[in-house]
Chain A
Amino acid sequence: MDNKRNYFDRVHVWGTVWNYAALFMMMMVPVMMSIVLNTWPSLSIIGKVVATLAPLYWVTGIIEVVTYVPMLGAGGTYLSFVTGNISNLKLPCGLNAMENAKVRPNTEEGEVISTISIAVSSLTTTLVIAVGVLVFAPIFSSASDNPTFKAAFSNVLPALFGALGASYFAKHWKLGIAPIIGGVLVLLVSPSTGVGVLMFVTIVISLIAAVIIYRDLFFPVIKGFGKKSKKATAPAETEESAQEEE
């Protein structure tokens, strides 16, 4: 147990150092570009832009951190938040690797596999983009307009999440019904709901559905927790009865 905590603690120390180094490096990009161009943006315009973007970016940022950390493990989280493209690449890649290696997230084995997978994915993505930009720029510029390639690449996400979903639904098909229906209903009401917000809703629906489906396992624990809370505080009574009704 001590070794386990020691390893996780070490990952957090490495992650923190790399995280703040990345933050510094990121901020140096606009600084360096402004120095190179000898042009600085006016503070008032930056202020206006940040005021417009902050509610969108920062709220989503908080939701993303809370949602992804439990899935990606410590090392995977620090890497993913620096290299980006989490929901459409790093997260499914890490999940797929843990599934293949038959390890659970938040165990040391899961931590190792998830971190290697996300680090390899980051390197691959960086290499593909760099080679693509340097070597294939003219070819890809015309390929992106080619309807044949367009059909394949505009459907990367359905292909990716269809295949990933199948491996999970094969094992837990009951858990898939409620969140998919819930997601579709949300999109019927508001079709352009961003994936960050939609994901938050489907995760909540999925967790509630899981507790109800596996009620034999969860309800005794919830009831036990409710009784303990009832002794401690009065308002807990309302929560308990609500859960029983569910």
Chain B
Amino acid sequence: MEHFKESGAMYAIAFGVIAFIAAQSFFFIIKSWKHGKELGIKKETLMNTVTSSILFSVAPAISILVTVFVLAKALGVILPWIRLTVIGNLAYETVAAETALNNLGGSLSTEITDMKQFSTVVWAMTIGSVFPLTFLPIVCKKLQKKIGGAVSKDEKTAKMGDILAAAAFIGIISAFIARAINGCTVTTEAVLDANGNEIIEAGKRLTQKVVTESSGALSILTLIFAIVFMLIFMKLCKSIKSLEKFESFAMPLAMFAAMGCAVIFSKVLPDSIANFTWYEIGKAV
């Protein structure tokens, strides 16, 4: 009965979710495309947006796919597939599943074979993540109206709006850059005894926080090379007339080139440098 996680009915539920996402995305593309034409946006600009967005999304999507397989070891492939297609995010999903399993005396490190445990994990992951959808329409309209009002005022206000918008974008980007420089990710894991068995105290599993990811030499080098590649590509697109139309592809290309460099560095650099991280992976904190 361990295949209950990947039965035909489970696949049918996953396809239902995918059909919904596809319908919603196509609906918004058609409406926006029509309105873009009404506004006089060139077809070439709209097509460039589509192509560059596809290119931009492929690498992160593959990275999400890899995380589906990471979670699939415990949960089967269908549940992580659905959860990471709708609302999902690896950090939240892992924490939700682990918390639910901890309450049931289980862990993500082992395959779930009990249907009750699986059902609890499904509910916990869903309830935890749907909350923003309950109030989003109300807040979204109010925030948009306020911002729209500010943007459409005089030129000086528009300039201030532009600077604040750029500052907010840079604030977001900076958080990720800072994490690439000296951040780490921790997860809650069971404490094991000398025989590798979980320790139970007062009916509950003893847990600890363990470093699962850390920035280090490779993340900093990838970051630097992504910046350098992007600056070179931007300069090329600006100075060579025939390359101007490829400007929108500079960003995904720089990203792929930097990821390629990460692979090369992991192969050519001495292990002590390539594997250097600020925080030791697997260490309890």
The residue of chain A having its C-beta at the shortest distance from the C-beta of B23 within the complex is: A18
Indicate if the CB atoms of B127 and A115 lie closer than 8 Å. Answer: no
Q: How long is the Cα–Cα vector from A151 to B164 in the complex, in angstroms?
A: 36
Residue of A with least CB distance to B249: A100
Other-chain contact of B46, A85, A92, A116 (Cβ < 8 Å): A116
Residues 199-245 of A contacting B (Cβ, < 8 Å): 199, 201-207, 209-210, 214, 217-218, 221
State the majority secondary structure of interface residues on A: helix
Which residues on B sit within 8 Å (CB–CB) of A22?
20, 24, 86, 133
Taking CB as reference atom, which chain B residue is nearest A159?
B258
With both beta carbons as reference points, the residue of chain B lying nearest to A136 in the complex is identified as B65
Q: Are B77 and A137 in contact (CB under 8 A)?
A: yes
| C-alpha spacing A12/B143, complex, angstroms | 12
Q: Of B31, B33, B35, B53, which is within 8 A of A108 by CB?
A: B35
Bound CA span A166–B224, Å: 10
> With A56-B95, A79-B25, A191-B278 known to touch, is A168 a contact of B62 (CB < 8 Å)?
no
Tell me, in angstroms, the Cα distance from A158 to B179 when the chains sit together. 8
Distance from B217 Cβ to chain A, minimum over Cβ atoms (Å) = 11
Give the interface size class of chain B. Answer: 35 or more
Contact B124 A206, beta carbon cutoff 8 Å = no
Contact A106–B147 (Cβ < 8 Å): yes
A contacts with B, residue count (CB < 8 A): 158
Which B residues touch A26, using CB under 8 A? 86-87, 126, 129-130, 133
Please pick, from A42, A53, A100, A164, the residue contacting B99 in the complex, using a CB distance under 8 A: A53
A212 to B7, CA, bound (A): 59
Distance of A55 Cα from B265 Cα, bound (Å): 40
Which residues from B are CB-within-8-Å of A21?
A: 20
> What is the CB-to-nearest-CB distance from A203 to chain B, in angstroms, rounded to a whole number?
3
State which of A82, A141, A195 has its C-beta within 8 Å of the C-beta of B175: A195
Q: With A74-B144, A151-B262 given, is the CB distance from A183 to B177 under 8 Å? A: yes
For B32, what are the chain A residues with a Cβ–Cβ distance below 8 Å?
75, 111-112, 115-116, 119
Residues of B within 8 A of A124 (CB): 53-54, 57-58, 61
Name B4's contact: one of A29, A37, A53 (CB within 8 Å).
Answer: A37
CB-based contact A158/B223 at 8 Å: yes
Q: Which residue of A lies closest to B65 (CB)?
A: A132
Cα-based distance from A217 to B17 in the complex (angstroms): 49
Q: Which of A96, A126, A203 has the most CB of B within 10 A?
A: A126
Contact present for A163 and B251 (CB under 8 Å):
yes
Return the CB mask of A95-126 against B: 1 if under 8 Å, else 0: 11100110011111101110111111111111
Tell whether B69 is near chain A: CB-to-CB under 8 Å.
yes
Pairs of residues from A and B, 3 with the lowest C-beta to C-beta distance, nearest first? A183-B178, A162-B226, A203-B171
Q: List 13 A-B contacts (CB under 8 A).
A: A25-B16, A33-B79, A36-B7, A41-B123, A61-B131, A81-B87, A123-B22, A158-B215, A163-B226, A165-B170, A199-B171, A210-B167, A217-B156
